[in-house]
Amino acid sequence: MGFHQISVKVNGNDEVVTVSSNMTLLRMLRESLALTGTKNGCAAGECGACTVMLNGEPVNSCMVLAVEVDGQEITTIEGLAKDGQLDIVQKTIIEKGGVQCGFCTPGMLISARALLNRNPHPTEEQVVEALVGNLCRCTGYSRIIESVQAAAERS
Amino acid sequence: MANTDTKPGTMNPVGKSVQRLDVMEKVTGAAHYTDDIPFGNALLYGRVKRSTVAHGLIKRIDVSKAKALPGVKVVVTGEDFPNLIGLYLKDKTVFARDRVRFVGEAIAAVAATSEEIAEKAIDLIEVDIEPLPAVFDAEFGASKDAPLIHPDLANYECPNFIFPVPGTNISNHFKIRKGNTEEAFKKCAVIMEKKFRVPHVQHVPIEPHIAVAQVEPDGDVTVWAASQSPFSQRSSFAKALGVSESKIRVIAGYVGGGFGCKAGVTMENVAVALASKSGGRPVKVRLTREEEFFTNFVRQGLIINLKIGCDAQGNVLAMENNQWWDGGASTEYGVNITRAGGYNSSGPFDIPNITTNAMCVYTNHPIGGAYRGFGMSELHAGIIQVMDMLAEKIGMDKVEFLKRNAIQGGDFNVTGMKMHPVGLQECIDKVAKELNFSVKEKASSPTKRRGKGIGIVWKAPSMPPNAGSSAEVRLNEDGSVTVSVGGQEIGQGTFTVMAQIAAEALGVAYEMVKIEGPVDTRYSPYEWQTVASRLTWSMGNAVRRAAEDARKNILEMVAEAWGENPANLDIKNGYVVSMKSEESISLKNIVVYGIPRPGDQGWIGGPVLGRGTFMPSYVTNLDKDTGQGARAVVHYTTGCQGIDIEIDTETGKIEIIKAVSVFDVGKAINPDLVKAQIEGGFIQGMSSAIFEEMKLVNGVMKNPSFVDYRIATTADLPRENIAMFVETAQDDGPWGARGIGEHPMTPTIGVLANAIYDAVGVRVSNPPLSAEKIYLAMLEAGVVS
């Protein structure tokens, strides 16, 4: 097994990390960079709990190899709030009561932020579509969908 | 943030929809779950060698090659851990010993310096198993022809309310014999009988099971686990290792969804077993998603035959109810699920004559455990449909039929217990009104059919009669309050509700209260388990009493200082005020340092600490032969659900136009959290009703992934998901509250089946109520061609 040194910008910070060839981005974030807000729910690209932004696009970080992100930009849940201010999607999910156990929440919020970045005023169908890969077993989703719509209205 | 000066805060928060305590951590990624705790380089990773045979005798286990692999530090097998464990019935060991009983059963485990090495080592363990005839059907399993899965059943330890039948696969036979069912059926104008099969399903928390264990230098064992029941886990670990409870410490942070599967002990014992031989190094065991599906607790399957009869006026007179629960390879928990199936077997109906046989049957399937309202989704799936069939057969309005037969306060129910006041009539009325139930509405297109279904449910906390709670309330220098509890925040919002209760009882703002976490059995007060929708009621009582105790201490201190009677003092918004002298003093500082006596002549009071406990004292055992007794349970939460759907006749697909759920919660301590439980519970119920089934073929689960075992996503939602509640106070609940966490998913299978029948005139009765099944049923009935 080979090891590689990669340079990556994570939440605006330049990081140099030594990773093994088979290490996933998910493991690199959690184990090498101590960014444990990104969750491991299935390690198979099926539940969305590990969603992060790779150059602004949402990806399942369990399906990306760490070596692939050399020279790229990553945003995790820890990078959503700026200067101590919550992102609007974080504020509205609190207001709408869209958080229960919280395990899907980081991935859900990243998918929501990525959607609003590429489409600031999505229709309900577009919100549903953007979150369809993020499984939640607690909330029944509707409050989360409403929170993204509310965030769009306010931004 | 607690701040007495700048924020007014929320006074008297009980009954208000205050913001959850845990949201800032959870939306920023800061909330710590068990997998997020750093253990450094000493950490070992555990993996499990599992049976690929459903039933067989273990002839040989050879771990020598695994042990020889560099990086492997520990290998354990059943030889090392002979003790029988189990929550209700002690019928299992940590690892299979002489025989395996299901595909996925743990046979051995390895701890290594990396997950990859551990995985490789597992493959190097050689196991020879001689297959035995297996049981994959509960009804067959209960018969004399079935091979015995637990020949030692007679020797297993269990409490006196579980009735195993030695020499069979029946590990609990719960009976109801109320009235004279045979005679009553003769008086019925209409009798309907139907057999239902409810498949195994999985809880599917998004966080898979995880545990880390470590032996401390003094020999004590610490376990960090995603756990709904740190205290009962402590007890189980102690028994598995043959040590006393005080030698074990369980620390349990936030839980990423439980729904029952993280109650009791399953894979956590593997981490403990490995750590007991790792020389002090911590060992982490984390299930893969595939393992999560079938190696842990599942919702056991049910075969139920229901025969119910009513007179010409629509009064239900008699029920015969035979249940075969597919308990799986161990029924340590399943025996109690069966018991719940028995003592709830009437559903929320007043039925004078009932014969019930609820049987827990060993099979060679995955092990059944608690799943959100255990037994109740499965039981009500059938009852809701047969009641619908009866109403139709005698030509009675369905709402009228439910209201006529729904259990009421003062009725003597299925176990002979006198019912407390229930608001079920009001729940039914609200659903019927909100759904315009009596109005047949038009479908949105000629290729669609529209229909509505309705049904009622009940559920009592299914637990030992003496499940206890305790709490401590401490005050800090700034007047803020710390509450210690042993119940777990698993997403339901219990920490928020406990803070509301403490604030209300003490007389401070909600924002001044924090809940101590994580729960740690070394420091936290005892709590039985976070299950059964019991915390708001039971732990809520303990917290209220603890806060009242603290309040009493504070008032006595101030009364002495002021020379007043404590009865004339009150705590309002963080100040002690005298109703007599109108004097007031802030809680700040005095709750830690006390109050100086006049003229510096000493001090009064000191650190304020309130303690409270609660344990129901009135639950009685039931007669073994009749299932009758004074009070089987603490109370029942009841409710009604109605669903308005369209079915696409070209595909069989259901679209839910509107779902309405109304439950009697006694008192909504936090109305928005109650609604959130009802909404989320409905979607989980809908998901299990329409999509979910563990496809078990000869004991092998064929669909252990999110691709093949589909759960509801954002694309599957009803157009409207309405949650409401009524409040008929519970006499011993805090402010009248009773539980609501589990109930919302329990009616959904039956109610959807009724709606399908109303829409297309075909009864598709066994979940999953998939498009394929509905389409084929329509085809067979000639609804479509």
Q: What HEC string does B424-489 produce?
A: HHHHHHHHHHHCCCCCCCCCCCCCEEEEEEEEEEEECCCCCCCCCEEEEEEECCCCCEEEEECCCC
Q: What gap in Å lies between CA B673 and CA A100, rounded to an integer?
A: 9
Most A CBs within 10 Å, among B119, B206, B290, to test the A interface: B206
Q: What gap in Å lies between CA B601 and CA B740, rounded to an integer?
A: 53
Do the Cβ atoms of B42 and B281 come closer than 8 Å? yes
Quick one: pLDDT at residue B240?
84
Nearest to B23 among A47, A49, A94 (CB): A94
Burial readout B358-371 (b: 16 or more C-beta within 10 A, e: otherwise): bbbbbbbbbbbbbb
Tokens at B707, concatenated: 């691709």
Closest to B526 (Cα-Cα) out of B273, B729, B234, B726: B234
Do the Cβ atoms of B338 and B327 come closer than 8 Å? yes
Q: What gap in Å lies between CA B262 and CA B233, rounded to an integer?
A: 10
Do the Cβ atoms of B500 and B669 come closer than 8 Å? yes
Helices marked H in chain A: 25-27, 88-95, 105-118, 124-130, 142-154
Helices marked H in B93-209: 115-124, 138-141, 181-186
Mean pLDDT of B222-230: 97
Sequence-distant (≥ 6) Cβ neighbours of residue B560 within 8 angstroms: B604, B605
Give the distance from CA B53 to its chain's centroid.
30
Nearest to B256 among A36, A42, A101 (CB): A101
Task: Return the number of other C-beta atoms located less than 10 Å from residue B99's C-beta.
Answer: 19
| For chain B, percent of residues with pLDDT exceeding 70 | 99
Closest to B241 (Cα-Cα) out of B79, B83, B76: B83
Q: What gap in Å lies between CA A106 and CA A46, rounded to an integer?
A: 15
Tell me whether strands B44-50 and A57-60 are parallel, antiparallel or unpaired.
unpaired
Task: Return the number of other C-beta atoms located less than 10 Å from residue B433's C-beta.
Answer: 14
Q: Which chain A residues are Cβ-neighbours of B676 within 8 angstroms?
A: 97, 100, 139, 143
Summarised one tens digit per residue, pLDDT across range B373-427 is 999 999 999 999 999 999 999 999 999 999 999 999 999 999 999 999 999 999 9
CB contact under 8 A, B715 and A129: yes
Do the Cβ atoms of B350 and B168 come closer than 8 Å? no
pLDDT band at B7; cut points 50, 70, 90: low
Which string of DSSP letters, residue by residue, matches B255-275?
A: -S--TTTTSS-STHHHHHHHH
Q: What gap in Å lies between CA B376 and CA B382, rounded to an integer?
A: 10
> What is the rounded end-to-end Cα distance, in angstroms, of chain B?
65
Burial readout B450-473 (b: 16 or more C-beta within 10 A, e: otherwise): bbbbbbbbbbbbbbebebbbbbbb
Tokens at B713, concatenated: 């996503």
Statement: residue B3 has pLDDT above 90: no
Q: Which chain A residues are Cβ-neighbours of B206 within 8 angstroms?
A: 39, 41, 47, 49, 101, 103-104, 135-137
Please name the residues between 200 and 259 in chain B that touch chain A, using a CB distance below 8 Å: 203-208, 254-259
Which string of DSSP letters, residue by residue, matches B487-547?
A: S--SSS-HHHHHHHHHHHHHTS-GGGEEE--SEETTTSPPB--S-TT-IIIIIHHHHHHHH
Is B705 an 8 Å CB contact of chain A?
yes
Closest to B269 (Cα-Cα) out of B246, B293, B287: B287
Tokens at B112, concatenated: 């290594």
CB contact under 8 A, B256 and A99: no
Statement: residue B169 has pLDDT above 70: yes
Tokens at B215, concatenated: 């032996």
Q: Is B25 exposed, middle or buried (0-12, 13-18, 19+ CB in 10 A)?
A: middle
Distances (CA, A) of A103 to B8, B34, B239, B320: 32, 11, 31, 43
Do the Cβ atoms of B490 and A101 come closer than 8 Å? yes
Mean pLDDT of B299-316: 98
Distance from CA of A70 to the nearest CA of B (A): 24
Quick one: pLDDT at residue B689?
98
Is B714 an 8 Å CB contact of chain A?
yes
Do the Cβ atoms of B491 and B255 come closer than 8 Å? yes
Compute and round to an integer the Cα radius of gyration of chain B: 27
Quick one: pLDDT at residue B4?
40
* CATH topology for the B42-132+208-255+262-292 domain: Aldehyde Oxidoreductase; domain 3 (3.90.1170)
Is B537 an 8 Å CB contact of chain A?
no
Quick one: pLDDT at residue B241?
87
What are the residue ranges of CATH 3.30.365.10 in chain B? 23-31+467-614, 301-463+621-781
Q: Which residues of chain A have pLDDT under 50?
A: none
Nearest to B205 among A30, A109, A137 (CB): A137
Do the Cβ atoms of B326 and B740 come closer than 8 Å? no
Task: Return the number of other C-beta atoms located less than 10 Å from residue B495's C-beta.
Answer: 23
Statement: residue B680 has pLDDT above 90: yes
Class of domain B301-463+621-781: alpha beta
Do the Cβ atoms of B285 and B274 come closer than 8 Å? yes
Distance from CA of B309 to the nearest CA of A (A): 37
Q: What gap in Å lies between CA B561 and CA B766, rounded to an integer?
A: 69
Chain B: residue nearest A80 by CA? B28
Do the Cβ atoms of B94 and B85 come closer than 8 Å? yes
Question: In this structure, which long-range contacts are made by residues B392-399, counting pairs with CB atoms below 8 Å and at least 24 apart in sequence?
Answer: B393/B190, B393/B192, B394/B189, B394/B190, B394/B310, B394/B312, B394/B314, B396/B314, B397/B438, B398/B437, B398/B454, B399/B428, B399/B432, B399/B437, B399/B438, B399/B454
CB contact under 8 A, A128 and B20: no
Coil, strand or helix at B664:
strand
Sequence-distant (≥ 6) Cβ neighbours of residue B186 within 8 angstroms: none
Do the Cβ atoms of B211 and B223 come closer than 8 Å? yes
Nearest to B706 among A86, A135, A141 (CB): A135
Chain A: residue nearest B288 by CA? A42
Task: Return the number of other C-beta atoms located less than 10 Å from residue B522's C-beta.
Answer: 12
Quick one: pLDDT at residue A21?
96
What are the residue ranges of CATH 3.90.1170.50 in chain B? 42-132+208-255+262-292
Do the Cβ atoms of B210 and B200 come closer than 8 Å? no
Quick one: pLDDT at residue B599?
87
Extract the runs of DSSP E, i.e. beta strands, from B208-256.
Answer: 210-215, 221-225, 248-252
Q: Which chain B residues are Cβ-neighbours of A109 within 8 angstroms?
A: 27
Do the Cβ atoms of B448 and B454 come closer than 8 Å? no
- The conformational region for residue B446 under phi > 0 = left, psi -120 to 50 = alpha, else beta, is alpha
Domains of chain A: 3-78 (3.10.20.30), 88-154 (1.10.150.120)
Task: Return the number of other C-beta atoms located less than 10 Å from residue B226's C-beta.
Answer: 27
Mean pLDDT of B535-561: 98
Quick one: pLDDT at residue B311?
98
Q: Is B303 exposed, middle or buried (0-12, 13-18, 19+ CB in 10 A)?
A: buried
Architecture of domain B23-31+467-614: 2-Layer Sandwich (3.30)
| For chain B, percent of residues with pLDDT exceeding 90 | 98
Do the Cβ atoms of B200 and B693 come closer than 8 Å? yes
CB contact under 8 A, B205 and A34: no
Closest to B454 (Cα-Cα) out of B512, B522, B503, B406: B406
Q: Which chain A residues are Cβ-neighbours of B490 within 8 angstroms?
A: 101
Chain A: residue nearest B713 by CA? A132
Q: What gap in Å lies between CA B467 and CA B526, rounded to an integer?
A: 10
Tokens at B496, concatenated: 């928020």
Do you find a cis peptide bond into B566, omega within 30 degrees of 0? Answer: no
Is B655 an 8 Å CB contact of chain A?
no
Summarised one tens digit per residue, pLDDT across range B352-372 is 999 999 999 999 999 999 999
Q: Which chain B residues are Cβ-neighbours of A34 within 8 angstroms?
A: 38
Nearest to B28 among A43, A81, A143 (CB): A81
Q: Which chain A residues are Cβ-neighbours of B40 within 8 angstroms?
A: none
Most B CBs within 10 Å, among A3, A10, A137, to test the B interface: A137
Distance from CA of B29 to the nearest CA of A (A): 4
Q: What gap in Å lies between CA B682 and CA B740, rounded to an integer?
A: 12
